[in-house]
Amino acid sequence: MTVYKYFMKVALKHKFIILGYSTLFLLVAIINGTIAGTEELQFVETDLNIGIIDNMDSELSRGLVGYLEENNNIEDIIEDEGYIREQIFLQALDGAIIIPRDFDEKVINKEEAIELYKDDRRIGAYYLEQQVEKYLIFANATYEDNTFDMDSLKSALNKKANIELIETKKGLKNSRMDIWFKNYYNYTSYIIIAVYIAVIGMVMIEFRDKRLEDRMRISSKKNFSLNREIYLGQVSLGIGITSIFILGSLVLKGRYIGEVEFSKYMINIAVFSFAILCFTFLINNLTRSRFTINGISTVVSLGTSFISGVLVPQEFLGERALSIAKFFPTYYFVSINERSIGSFGDIRYELLMQMMFGIVFLLMGLYFARPRLRA
Amino acid sequence: MKTLLRNCIYQGKNVYRDMGFLFWGLIYPIILVSFFYIAFSGISNIGLEDIDIGMERENPISAILETIDMVNIVEVPRKDANRNLAEGNIDGFIDEDLNILVNDSGINQTMIKGIVEQIKQMNSLNRPMENYDFEANYIADRDQEANGILVIFYSLIGMVSTYSVFAGIETVSLAQGNLTNIGARLNITPLKKKDFLFAGIIVALAFNLLANGLLLLFIEFVLKMNLLREARYSLALIILGNIFGVSLGIFIGASNKQSIGVKTMFAIASTLFLSFLSGLMSPDIKIILDKNLPILGRINPLAIIGNSLYRVNLLGNTKDVGVGMALLTLYSIILIFGAYMFLRRRNYDSI
């Protein structure tokens, strides 16, 4: 097993690629975990991110701020138009309200009483406008004898509607953790493609060095045995790399694996790893250029992640993007992760497609390897 | 001058024939921006859509809901409400007692809740109808288009403007006798190393600016995205990004004895990581970092370029651009000085 041993030794020389990508991956996974949406068993009101500057500080303006604060997140902002516009542009805020010093007077006179920065095309912004308008219309309705009836207003605004989720949503075990695992494993596809192609590609470049190949050819080692050890090395390396990411999920959220469809993620990642290993085999038989391998590693990993639903959920992607994505295993890998399954029969098509891709890549790789073997 | 010109021609030929430059500088950014465009064109083209509310024909509030612009009333018998909700035909169902049934928690469902609450609250407020003036306009609307996803494109332009880093690494490696054969030959000739390096910088800047220009033309004329509306500042920022990139390349090339491959990988990783922090892979990451660690966005060179680009082009805000440009210049000077410290008086006993 000399070849195998040296294959692994050369692979270890590229440990910084694995470490670099793993660190980046874990960072993304952790950050993504903090921003992942939560799915509850009860209805949860969508809270808007609102910035408010209250220059009036009257009972009426404080009442408005308090009312909006009840169901929304009030963010600290500064009274700078450029800054506010940027926060709206970035979607860090759904809207920003500036209450002027003569707010009460303007409300009484039914004039434009507040400045509202928002994107008119967004439903969240529309809802915010509705909330503000409602408050001010109600406030003015209570205005009598030069004063607003704030107690009645507050009491009326406390009247809530009864809202219920229908039964189909209540069968889920732990939706929040399922979302975390789904996002985590979706991201592994990006990293697996990048690391497999980069690391195995780099090792194979060293093994395909002309002088080394010539020396191997005149050695007593049989070609079959040599290739077997190289392929075994690739498989071992692949298993090792994939294991890092599986272990990562166990370290970060291991205590929840009983509450999510963990076996689905395991089978899916194993099949996907096989497909990508075969893709790497194909690439290694197509080129010996370090630059090309680096390029393919970056472009394919990032590109497929964008169009297959890793970085942007599939539901937001256009038809065109998804049609292109179907020509690579990542699409099917993500589709499985996105779905809640009753049995493995539910995902057999996607698993089969990934296997098929793997086999096609393998056969193509063998085809392109023929001229080299003949030489 | 003649020597400089000759060095520029030779190094220019060298870069031109380099497949690495051709790929990373020219093809990769175009591929990447195309992927971004395909993936995000669906997200950025948004518009207000009606909210479908299911209710029975005789529901007393249907007359009120019909007056609301964004509401579309769908006649649904109570017994079919769950099925319609599960199939996504309606966003919510309101029964005669103003109870709401939904299948999801979202903004549409929150809006339905808000509408029903308004009806209940008006009853609770118990004021005569003439007291409510629904025609009054209390809000001065300041419309600002929200399109955070565009940050990704500006972040990409920022990243590729620093891709002169590769030519910087190449130039400085070629000048070092212990790394390349050309470097070894150069060190035993009377040619001045500084002329060679200076020519390398000029070539790196010229080629990368050309590549950036092609990318911008591709964005403008093929993808038909009008990202650079303010040419003067945009050009200055891209040029400074290029100068920063080549300075970083020279520093990476001079500071260690690793192979060009390793140095290139380091350059890719560092620019990609800094771009990631500036929002290249998701604007949410930028927003989180801006909120919790705002200093990072102000000192990260890639964030300086990306942020300044969208501020001047989309928001018409040139307030902090000068500070960003000064910082980029300072970084470049520090990196060049650092590289100079590594390179000066370097002698080889044996190469």
CB B280 within 8 A of CB B145: no
Judged against a pLDDT cut of 60, whether residue A183 lies above it is answered with yes
- Give residue B286's region: left, alpha or beta (phi > 0; psi -120 to 50): alpha
Q: Backbone phi, then psi, for B132, in 5-degree steps?
A: -90, 120
**Looking at residues B335-350, what average pLDDT do you find?**
80
Please indicate whether, in this complex, the C-beta atoms of B138 and A113 are within 8 angstroms of each other: yes
Q: Please check whether residue A109 touches B, CB under 8 A.
A: no
Question: Tell me, what's the pLDDT at A374?
Answer: 57
CA A193 remoteness from chain centre: 16
**Residues B179 and B185 sit within 8 Å (Cβ to Cβ):** no
User: Is A339 at the interface with chain B, CB within 8 A?
Assistant: no
Residue in chain B closest to A135 (alpha carbons) equals: B118
pLDDT of residue A148: 92
How many helices (H) and strands (E) are present in chain B, helices listed first?
16, 5
Do B118 and A110 count as a contact with CB atoms less than 8 A apart?
no
User: A227 CA to chain B: closest CA distance, Å?
Assistant: 26
CA distance linking residue A357 with residue A350, whole number of Å: 11
Q: Does A159 touch chain B (CB under 8 A)?
A: yes
Which two tokens mark B157? 């332009």
Mean pLDDT, range B184-211, rounded to an integer: 85
Q: Are strands B92-94 and B100-102 parallel, antiparallel or unpaired?
A: antiparallel
Q: Average pLDDT, stretch A300-308?
A: 86
Q: Band of the pLDDT at B45, cuts 50, 70, 90?
A: low
pLDDT band at A175 (very low <50, low <70, confident <90, very high): low
* Nearest residue in A to B102, CA atom: A165
Lowest mean pLDDT among A103-117, B180-194, B303-317: B180-194
Does B143 touch chain A if contact means CB atoms closer than 8 Å? Answer: yes
Any idea which of A56-60, A189-193, A210-214 has the lowest mean pLDDT? A210-214
- Residues B100, B246: Cα–Cα separation, whole Å: 61
Task: Please say if the pLDDT value at position A52 is more than 90.
Answer: yes
How far apart (Å, rounded) are the C-alpha atoms in residues B52 and B73? Answer: 6
Give the mean pLDDT of A234-240: 91
Residue with tokens 């020279």: B250
Q: Which of A144-153, A169-178, B60-69 has the lowest mean pLDDT?
A: A169-178
Say what the pLDDT of residue A108 is: 93
The CA distance from B346 to the nearest CA of chain A, in Å, is 28
> Quick check: A369 pLDDT over 70?
yes
Q: Out of A225-229, A314-318, A360-364, which region has the weakest mean confidence (pLDDT)?
A: A314-318
Pick the range with the lowest mean pLDDT from A268-277, B34-43, B165-174, B231-240: B34-43
pLDDT computed for residue B329 by the predictor: 96
Mutate which: A60, A105, A163, A195, vs B, most B CBs within 10 A: A163
| Lowest-pLDDT range of A142-156, A241-255, A272-286, A291-305 | A291-305
Domain boundaries, chain B: 2-43+150-343, 51-131
Query: Which 62-121 residues of chain B touch chain A by CB within 8 A?
Result: 70, 81-82, 85-86, 92, 98-114, 116-118, 120-121
Query: What pLDDT sits at residue B309?
Result: 95
Distance (Å) from the alpha carbon of A161 to chain B's nearest alpha carbon: 5
Q: Is B323 on the interface with A (CB under 8 A)?
A: no
Residue contact B144–A137, C-beta within 8 A: no
pLDDT of residue B239: 96
The predicted pLDDT at position B63 comes to 86
User: What pLDDT shows up at residue A172?
Assistant: 47
Query: From the candidates A53, A197, A312, which should be mutated to test the interface with B, based on the most B CB atoms within 10 A?
Result: A312
> Is the CB of residue A46 less than 8 Å away from at least one CB of chain B?
yes
Are B218 and B227 a contacting pair, CB within 8 Å?
A: no
| Whole-angstrom distance, CA of residue B332 vs CA of residue B33 | 27
Residue A299 sits at the chain B interface (C-beta within 8 Å): yes
Cβ neighbours of B48 in A, within 8 Å? 121-123, 126
Mean pLDDT of chain B: 87
pTM: 0.78
Report residue B102's pLDDT band, with 50, 70 and 90 as the boundaries. very high
Q: What share of chain B has pLDDT > 70, as a percent?
A: 96
Contacts of A102 in chain B (CB under 8 A): none
Cβ contact B117–A161 (<8 Å): yes
- Structural domains of chain A sorted by starting position, each given as residue range(s) with its CATH number in brackets: 2-38+171-374 (no CATH), 49-163 (3.40.1710.10)
pLDDT of residue A243: 92
Average pLDDT over residues B279-298: 85
Higher pLDDT, B121 or B345: B121
CB A153 within 8 A of CB A138: yes
- Return d(Cα A132, Cα A112) in angstroms, integer: 12
Diameter of chain A by CA atoms?
A: 107
Query: Once rounded to an integer, what is the mean pLDDT over residues A52-66?
Result: 93
Q: Is the pLDDT of residue A41 over 70?
A: no
To the nearest whole percent, how much of chain B has pLDDT over 90? 37
Q: Is A139 on the interface with B (CB under 8 A)?
A: no
Contact A165 B122 (CB under 8 A): no
**Mean pLDDT over residues A243-249, rounded?**
90
What ipTM was predicted for this assembly? 0.81
Distances (CA, A) of B15 to A137, B89, B196, B201: 68, 59, 14, 12
A161 or A311: which leads in pLDDT: A161
A43 has a chain B CB within 8 A of its CB: yes
Residues of chain B with C-beta less than 8 angstroms from the C-beta of A88: 144, 146
Nearest CA in chain A to B124: A156
The 10s digit of each residue's pLDDT in B199-236 is 888 998 999 999 999 999 999 999 999 899 999 999 99
Tokens of residue A361, six digits: 């890549």
pLDDT beyond 70 at A373: no
Q: Which of B144, B152, B156, B272 to mutate to test the interface with A (most CBs of A within 10 A)?
A: B144
Tens digit of each residue's pLDDT (9 = 90 or more) over B291-301: 888 898 899 99
